[in-house]
Amino acid sequence: MKGENLRLGLDIGGTNIRSGVFSGHSLLWEYRQEARLADLCHESQPAEALKKILSILSLSIEKPLTQFPEVRTIGLAFPGFIHPLTHRLSLSPNLPGLIDVDLVTPLNAYFNRPVILENDALAAAYGEFLLSPTASGSMIYVGLGTGVGGGLILSGKPHSGEHGVAMEIGHLIVEPGGRLCGCGNHGCLEQYVSATGVAASYGVAGARVPEIAQRAIAGDSKALQAFRMGASLLGIAMAHVFKTLDVKHLRVGGGVSHAWTLMEPHFLSTLNSHLIPALRGKIQVQVSTANDHAGMLGAAMLSDPI
Ligand SMILES: [Zn+2]
C-alpha cells in the first residue's frame, strides 16, 4: 500500500462507530466499535461527555492507523449540524449538550493529519453517489437510521448549505403539534420514520425495527401500520422537497430501509398524490446497495477530494 493515497472515513452512528480505510472507493479494512454516544450525553455533563466522545473517536481512529499508518487524511461523518466554514458542530439533536463544539482541532493535533467533520447524511449521500453516480449528476439521499437525515448532490458535489443545515429533512414538520423532537420542535418527520419513530408508532416496549418488520411480514397489522404511517409521512415530506428542488433521483439508505418493501407502496402513493402533475411518476427511487459503506466512503473522500 506504500505510496497509495489512503483515506480513513468514520461513520458515527447511534450504536456503532465504523472506521474504514479506503484506497480510492475500495474499502480495504474496517473497524467497528460499539458506542452509544447519546447515553454519554444523557448521563454526563456536556464537557465531560465531549471528553469521553473525543476519547472514543480517538480509539476508532487509532486502530486503523496502527494497521495503515500511511493513511493521509481522516473524515468524520457525524450526526449533527456542522458549520461549513468553521467545521464546528453547531448542534446535534440526538446528542444533547453538544452545542458549538470543536471536534476537529484536538483530533487534528493528536493524529497530525488533516481531519474534516461532515454531516453524516451528507457524507452518506456523497458516498452513495460515488458508488453509483446518476447521469444527471444530481441526487437526493434519505438516511432512515436512528434519526432521519438527508443529503443533496448537485452537479456531482455535496451541497451543505450556508449554515450546514441543507436537507435537514428529518426536521420537516409533518404532524404539527405531534411528537416532541430532539431539535425542540414537535411533529418532525424523524419522530415517525426513523428507527426510534417506527418503534414509537408500534408502541411495544423494547421492540426494534428488524423485529417489528418480521412481525409486519407475519401479519401483525399494528406493526405494518407503524411502517405505513412512517412511509406516508415521508412521502408528504419528500413531495415538498421534490417540488422545491426538482431532482429526479432519490436514494434511500439507513437501517430502516431494509424494510423498504413494507413501506414503498405507501411512500409512492403519498408522494405522487402530493406532487404536481409534471412530476408524478417521474421520481426514480432506489434503495441503497452500498452495504452501509456509503457514510464511511463519503467521509473519507471529503477528507481529501482530489
Ligand atoms: Zn426535529
pTM: 0.93
* Domain identity same for 277 and 152: yes
Tell me the three cell numbers of residue 50.
Answer: 465531549
* Domain identity same for 116 and 215: no
Distance from residue 178's CA to the centre of ligand 1 (Å): 11
- The reply to whether 206 falls in a domain is yes
How many structural domains does the chain have? 2
Q: Kindly report, residue by residue over 82-130, the tens digit of the pLDDT.
A: 998 888 999 888 888 899 999 999 999 999 999 999 999 999 999 999 9
* Domain identity same for 220 and 242: yes
Distance from residue 262's CA to the centre of ligand 1 (Å): 24
The CATH number of whichever domain residue 66 belongs to comes to 3.30.420.40
* Domain identity same for 193 and 236: yes
Q: Kindly report, residue by residue over 127-149, the tens digit of the pLDDT.
A: 999 999 999 999 999 999 989 99
pLDDT beyond 60 at 71? yes
| Long-range interactions of 240-247: CB distance < 8 A, separation 24+ | 240/172, 240/274, 241/140, 241/150, 241/167, 241/169, 241/172, 242/140, 242/271, 242/275, 242/279, 242/283, 243/275, 243/276, 243/279, 245/140, 245/152, 246/279, 247/136, 247/138, 247/139, 247/140, 247/152, 247/154
Q: Kindly report, residue by residue over 272-283, the tens digit of the pLDDT.
A: 999 999 999 999
* Domain identity same for 44 and 184: no
Q: Which region, left, alpha or beta, applies to residue 68 given φ > 0 means left and ψ of -120 to 50 means alpha?
A: beta
pLDDT beyond 80 at 2? no
Distance from residue 164's CA to the centre of ligand 1 (Å): 15
* Domain identity same for 276 and 225: yes
* Domain identity same for 197 and 77: no
* Domain identity same for 138 and 159: yes
Q: To the nearest whole number, what is the mean pLDDT of the chain? A: 94
Distance from residue 179's CA to the centre of ligand 1 (Å): 9
Q: Which residue has the higher pLDDT, 21 or 204?
A: 21
Distance from residue 71's CA to the centre of ligand 1 (Å): 36
Distance from residue 73's CA to the centre of ligand 1 (Å): 32
Range of the domain at 76: 6-123+293-303
According to the model, what pLDDT value does residue 3 have? 54
- The reply to whether 76 falls in a domain is yes
